[in-house]
Amino acid sequence: MPNDKYSEVKNCDPNEMIPLPQNEIETRYYFWDRFYPYMSYLTESASHIRLQEFSVGYNLPKKVVAKIGMKSLQVYAQCNNPFNIYFNGYGEDPEFAKGTIRLQASYTFGIKCKF
């Protein structure tokens, strides 16, 4: 067993310990790694809320834009993947494997002009 799992078993409350499964062919715990990934009590909630995209824009009034010789002028900002609002109990994002790089936030600012 990996060290962290061994210490979890060794230091646990015996009344709360869930036994490793056995099958009819192989009853020894030696082959725990065959069963370990399929144990339902290892399943955790993957609940999370992520703000994936946020955009805001403002169209300047036509009277103001006409004074500078344009038909329209829009100022905008957009952000992709800025942050997670809520993580599961472990602070992990279930869409990315543990230890991998998450999506980096990207920011876009711009001006649209029509003459």
pLDDT digits (tens, 9 = 90+) for 17-38: 666 655 666 556 566 666 666 6
Rg from Cα positions in the chain: 27
Same domain? 38 vs 48? no
- Looking at per-residue pLDDT, the higher value among 21 and 43 belongs to 43
pLDDT at 110: 98
* Claim: this prediction has a pTM higher than 0.75: no
Same domain? 66 vs 100? yes
Same domain? 38 vs 50? no
Domain of 24 in residue numbering reads as: 1-42
Same domain? 37 vs 52? no
Sheet with 72-86: strands ordered across: 49-59, 72-86, 106-114
Same domain? 50 vs 93? yes
Structural domain count, the chain: 2
Give me the helices (H) in the chain, please.
3-10, 32-35, 62-67
Same domain? 102 vs 51? yes
pLDDT at 71: 93
Measured between its terminal Cα atoms, the distance across the chain in Å is 70
Tokens describing residue 29: 């715990």
